[in-house]
Chains A and B, each alone.
Chain A
Amino acid sequence: MTTETLNPGKGRTLPSMSVLGPVVALVVLLVIGTLLNANFLSAANITNVLARSAFIGIIAVGMTFVITAGGLDLSVGSMAAFIAGLMIIVMNAALPSMGIGIPIILLGMAVAIVAGILAGLLNGFLVTTLGIEAFIVTLGTMGIYRSLVTWLADGGTLSLDFGLRTFYRPVYFDGILGISWPIIVFALTVIVGEIVMSRSHFGRHCAATGSNEHVAHYSNVNVNRTRLLTYAMLGLLVGVATIMYVPRLGSASASTGVLWELEAIAAVIIGGTILKGGFGRVWGTVIGVLILSLIDNILNLTDLVSPYLNGAIQGVIIILAVILQREAKAKG
């Protein structure tokens, strides 16, 4: 009782640690990077970091919604590989009849989008309608998509026709006003995602569902539809990320998109979204993605620490982020 008087002034004077933490970490990384290498802040390097962040970033925005609504999706890396393989097969097959041109690129994009949405809906259907744990469902589909792409590639690599690849390349490498397409698409995804999460009914329903699904149900929130939509949206965004990814290498193999799911989930958690659901913020996820990319970039630019230790450093950061979250929760 009278606990309403327990936290005088909290959250009024200074933003809490969970808000400040990721921002401070990002600033520290920027300072370290600048001190270690003069080229770090060059336009070329920043563009490179952002463009490489874009794939994980676009997926992580979708992942933010899934996790906020109390779900999880481990299948996104395999799903991206499978969609990439599917795109390449369809485009190669359509090449004799359609020829090189914008229509065949649009066909490939449509395949990616539709396949992404369907894959997301499948995950969502299994989780909501059949009521299977999200961890189990997506662990299963992760294996399925990975195996399918390996099978489609017959254990090797699926390559986009060389002519097609040359025609498609600008989607990754060109852009507007020197900003490449992946960065533009990433930025748009983030802006829309942030607005949807923090200002729309859907975002509020996601948070309510993740916070307590019984309360959400009794408050006329369609819990299953909300969850299903988050998975479908994530699938769509995996499709979009794949559209950006295929022109970069022009191929797909069993090793495409490996560990993307972990990077995406890590970025979401580092950004302050609560793993158990109920609260999420898209801008935080962006900071999480940037932190992970910058660590990678700094390790590559300097020879202080071997880039092979990248994974270890990321691991430490993820664990730290969760500890910070817990402290913030204990205080709040």
Chain B
Amino acid sequence: MSGSPVLALRDVTKSFGPVEVLHGVSLELRAGEVLALIGENGAGKSTTMKILAGYQPATSGKILLDGEEVTFDSLHEGEEAGIVMIHQEFNLAEQLTVEQNIFLGRELRRGWLLDKARMRRLTREYLDRVNCKVHPDTLVSRLSNSDKQMVEIAKALSRNARVLIMDEPTAVLTGAETRILFDQVRAMKNSGTAILFTSHKLGEVSEIADRVTVLRDGSVVHDGPAVEISEDAMATAMVGRDVSDLYPEKPADDVQSDVMLRVRGLDVPGHAAGIGFDLHRGEILGVAGLIGSGRTEAMEGLCGLRPARAERVEIGGDPVTISKPGDALDHGLCYLTEDRKLRGLLLDKGLRENLTLQALHKFGGYLIDRRAEERALDQAIADFDIRAGQRSMRVGNLSGGNQQKLLLAKVMQSEPRILIVDEPTRGIDIGTKQQIYTFLRKLADDGHGIIVISSEMQEVIGLADRVLVLRSGRLAATLDGDAISEDTIVRHAMGVGADSSERVA
């Protein structure tokens, strides 16, 4: 592609206290090249990126900028050198406008006053370049995640970034938004920017990256041109074992078992109307649909988490009324939220408190039986392969995959017979994904009923026995057997006749 590296790491190690998390990492970012840095959660991707951007110092090894060794004493020096990092959790001031954010800390002035006219003109220009339609005066807190991502990129453009580092930029984007992002990435690449990004979506890596560097347990295990490595090979390199059979085998028999959950005429005001479906024993039912199709809201309504009405809900053949979360749990129906950080786990509490919160009544009468809680935690750590440094650590310090496993362990404490999981593998690595898929299938085989809501097409297709497709708050189709394919799901999710090349998100 092009010549000498703009930014490079040479034998960089990083230790937190006595624990070394990066063992001699070397990598190179070249102008006009997109490097994908991939690896499981905990492999050291974030640490590597933070060292590159000057957020954290390396413990040993060199950072080379244009071939010269540099040390960034502060984030500011990194930015001065033209290195911009976009965080997964965004670095935008929520209460400021888009324009104020783009120029935050480097406002243009004319004499003593702000040069608002020029900032407005430039803001519009940057936003146009990323094809983002928001008004410069919109408060960032009112933006969707994808718009925030675009504003971050506009901000990077305004800083004339020579090196752009993006931590999972597509995790919160829909298919169409990912397209726009990638177009922009290509444009920046062609104008000579060096780009590094991480993603758990290996299809995207193949599509956009020129080079792929794979990290495993803090070491580089593969580095080479993207065209020379298949997605399967990437996954194998990341995990260190073969994961080609990511999804567990579906049961062969077509014998319909009894209906565990029957829903008719479920209305969630403002989000969904007239939803009806059956869930059979031992079945995994997928729920697909575009973001905003009411998937999450319908299931939350069903579980009493938000106001909803239903003509009829039957569990195990008996009609039930569910008006609050406790009712659902009493009937063995449990919902696992898509947002583990804001709705799933208490990030500043320990593992034990989180594990037992939903089923606290199981642990002692009036007073909590701590020893029973500890035993439950032992069991959960073993059953779900939760890897925590210490039992007393804050859950917020766990990696995403371990948080998700803890969340799964938490909802299983209430011993549901019917489990609704929403985006069970969002933002987690492929090895953990496989563990979660295996667990869900095993639950189904043991006679539970499972509903999986997912934006990942492959996940729905690979995991579900039948698929409900929602569109604009209504049930668009129920698919089973060979009818479950990307094409059919997309057509129903978008409305028949729509452009089926659009990816369902």
Contact = CB atoms under 8 A, between A and B. Distances in A.
Contacts of B46: 1
Given A2-B42, A215-B344, A220 B366 contact: no
A218 B325 contact: yes
A186 to B, nearest CB: 22
Contact of B357 (A5, A7, A208, A332): A208
A275 to B, nearest CB: 14
Given A5-B17, A215-B345, A215-B346, A332 B394 contact: yes
B393 A212 contact: no
A217 B306 CA distance: 10
A215 B343 contact: yes
Contacts, number: 112
B452 to A, nearest CB: 18
A212 B47 contact: no
Select the residue from A2, A200, A207, A211 with max chain B CB neighbours within 10 A. A2
Contacts of B45: 1
A211 B349 CA distance: 8
Contact of A8 (B18, B398, B402): B18
A196 B205 CA distance: 53
A5 B402 CA distance: 14
Given A1-B45, A3-B397, A6-B16, A201 B388 contact: no
Contact of A201 (B324, B347, B368): B368
A218 B393 contact: no
Select the residue from A211, A216, A217 with max chain B CB neighbours within 10 A. A211
A303 interface: no
Contacts of A219: 357-358, 410
Given A6-B17, A8-B18, A332-B394, A217 B305 contact: yes
A176 to B, nearest CB: 27
A4 B388 contact: yes
A215 B345 CA distance: 6
Contacts of A204: 353, 357, 360, 368
B111 interface: no
A221 B16 CA distance: 37
A320 B119 CA distance: 43
B326 interface: yes
Select the residue from B18, B393, B394 with max chain A CB neighbours within 10 A. B393
B282 to A, nearest CB: 26
B399 A2 contact: yes
Interface in A173-212: 195, 199-201, 204-205, 207-208, 211-212
A136 B426 CA distance: 39
Contacts of B346: 208, 211-212, 215-216, 278
A200 B367 contact: yes
B115 to A, nearest CB: 37
A214 interface: yes
A201 to B, nearest CB: 5
Given A2-B44, A8-B19, A201 B349 contact: no
Contacts of B410: 219
B227 to A, nearest CB: 28
B467 interface: no
Contacts of B368: 199-201, 204
B343 A1 contact: no
Contacts of B390: 4, 7
A1 B353 contact: no
B337 interface: yes
B22 to A, nearest CB: 9
B21 interface: yes
A200 B361 CA distance: 10
A4 B360 CA distance: 26
Contacts of B353: 204, 207-208
B329 interface: yes
B378 to A, nearest CB: 18
Contact of B349 (A6, A7, A207, A222): A207
B16 A2 contact: yes
A200 B16 contact: no
Contacts of A207: 349, 353
Interface in A44-75: none
A212 B357 contact: no
Nearest to B305: A218
B382 interface: no
Contacts of A195: 367
B119 to A, nearest CB: 34
A219 B16 CA distance: 34
Nearest to B22: A2
B379 interface: no
A3 B50 CA distance: 13
B458 interface: no
Contacts of B47: 1-2
Given A4-B398, A8-B17, A212-B342, 16 more contacts: A1-B41, A1-B42, A1-B44, A1-B399, A5-B21, A6-B17, A199-B370, A201-B361, A205-B360, A211-B349, A215-B343, A216-B346, A217-B305, A220-B329, A220-B414, A278-B348
8 contacts: A1-B44, A1-B45, A1-B47, A4-B398, A7-B397, A201-B361, A212-B346, A217-B325
Q: Which 7 A-B pairs have the closest CB atoms?
A: A4-B389, A5-B19, A219-B358, A3-B397, A220-B325, A199-B367, A8-B17
